[in-house]
Amino acid sequence: MWVAVDAMSGDYGPECIVEGAVLAVRELGLSVSLVGDEQELLDLLLKFDYDTEKIRVVHSTEIIGMNDSPSIAVRAMEDSSVVKAVRLVAEKECVGVFSPGNTGATMAAALLHMGRLPGVLRPPIAAPIPREVGPPLLLLDAGANVDCKPEYLAQFAVMGEIYSREVFGIQNPKVGILSNGEEDKKGNAVTVKTFEILKKIPFNFIGNVEGRDLYGSGRDVDVVVCDGYTGNIVLKATEGLAKSIFNVLKNSIRQSSFAQTGALLLKSTFTAVKKRLDYAEYGGALLLGVEGICMIGHGSSSALAVKNAIRVITECAKQKVNERIAARILEFRTVMGDSI
């Protein structure tokens, strides 16, 4: 079971990507196809000890940059690392792909070469958000679809419920719609119609949830759906707030010798908190609903993030997440009939 990794598209070059692949092989026994400049990748691999049968290099000559137009670049640069990595999945040589590069290019390549699962209207980005305790909450869509119809959001809920159950191990995930109030009729026309659809689907739908519920401070919910415009703002605001809180703490500690002593005593606690809030623990965000597993990472993905991305992709393949999504989408349409 091989995972394709776009080794060239990150912000800092292939060093961290190669190290993460080696960690996945060495610590987890997984198999990785690194896609990029062959000589550069082989030179980097010489620095590590690993099972050479579990890492292979696929040569590519082009790199799609962060500022390139996704739709144009994907078609014009067929020998780019992200396109070749995606094609390894489309050609069934790998079960999934990870790229820390241009998000739009990764999505465009996946849709062009892998295609959508049967019945899926729009693939969403599913982003894990750490909570106070337990597994992360799953937010989708986190940016793939700016404008959404109610049936899109309903399918996002179906896909997210399966992912939360099969990968995060939540037995009966609670599904909600992000809105400006818990009351049934709160929200805009899209969310109100989505509410009516989700009431008819046989899973644990709890209704509308508010922003504070995302972090475990309000209603208990595991999967939250919204349009990609809202979801992307929520995701980036969450990341920015977490970073700001840690910066405020560090600056405050530096200003007091008494606080520095206390911080030293609490070092293990701070480390545990930082680990819980670190996106690298989850690898990245999955593009659900495509034929194959596609994970999108931060441009600044660390070796830990790469290792965990490869791990999650492999877990999704083992748990047959795509097969379950395809079956559930068919059931969903059968339940809803002509109403969507």
Average model confidence (pLDDT) across the chain: 89
Q: Give the pLDDT confidence score for residue 285 in this predicted structure.
A: 93
Q: Give the pLDDT confidence score for residue 215 in this predicted structure.
A: 81
Q: Give the pLDDT confidence score for residue 109 in this predicted structure.
A: 96
> By C-alpha distance, which of 303, 250, 315 is closest to 278?
303
Contact between residue 298 and residue 284 where contact means Cβ atoms under 8 Å apart:
yes
Q: Is 123 exposed, middle or buried (0-12, 13-18, 19+ CB in 10 A)?
A: buried
Q: Give the pLDDT confidence score for residue 277 in this predicted structure.
A: 57
- Indicate whether 332 pLDDT > 80: yes
Place of tokens 């292979």: 56
CA–CA separation, 226 and 306 (whole Å): 27
Using 50, 70 and 90 to split pLDDT, how confident is the model at 2? very high
Burial 275-306 (b: 16+ CB within 10 A, else e): eebebbebbbbbbbbbbbbbbbbbeebbbbbb
Helices (H), strands (E): how many in the chain? Answer: 12, 11
* Helices 257-265, 267-277: crossing angle, 10 deg rounding: 70
Phi-psi category of residue 122: left, alpha or beta, with phi > 0 → left and psi -120 to 50 → alpha: beta
For the record, the structure tokens of 258 come out as 């008494």
- Indicate whether 225 pLDDT > 90: yes
Using 50, 70 and 90 to split pLDDT, how confident is the model at 307? very high
Mean pLDDT of 72-86: 95
Q: Give the pLDDT confidence score for residue 211 in this predicted structure.
A: 86
Mean pLDDT of 66-92: 94
- Indicate whether 132 pLDDT > 80: no
Q: Which tops the pLDDT comparison, 251 or 226?
A: 226
Which of the 8 DSSP states describes residue 43?
A: H
- Indicate whether 89 pLDDT > 70: yes
Q: Which tops the pLDDT comparison, 252 or 105?
A: 105
Beta bridge partners of 276: none
- Lowest mean pLDDT segment, chosen from 98-107, 263-272, 317-326: 263-272
- Indicate whether 84 pLDDT > 80: yes
Using 50, 70 and 90 to split pLDDT, how confident is the model at 252? confident
Mean pLDDT of 248-265: 71
Mean pLDDT of 218-225: 88
Mean pLDDT of 195-202: 92
Using 50, 70 and 90 to split pLDDT, how confident is the model at 238? confident
Domains, the chain, ordered by start:
1-120+289-340 (3.40.718.10)
Which of the 8 DSSP states describes residue 193?
A: H
Beta bridge partners of 177: 208, 225
Q: What percent of the chain has pLDDT over 70?
A: 91
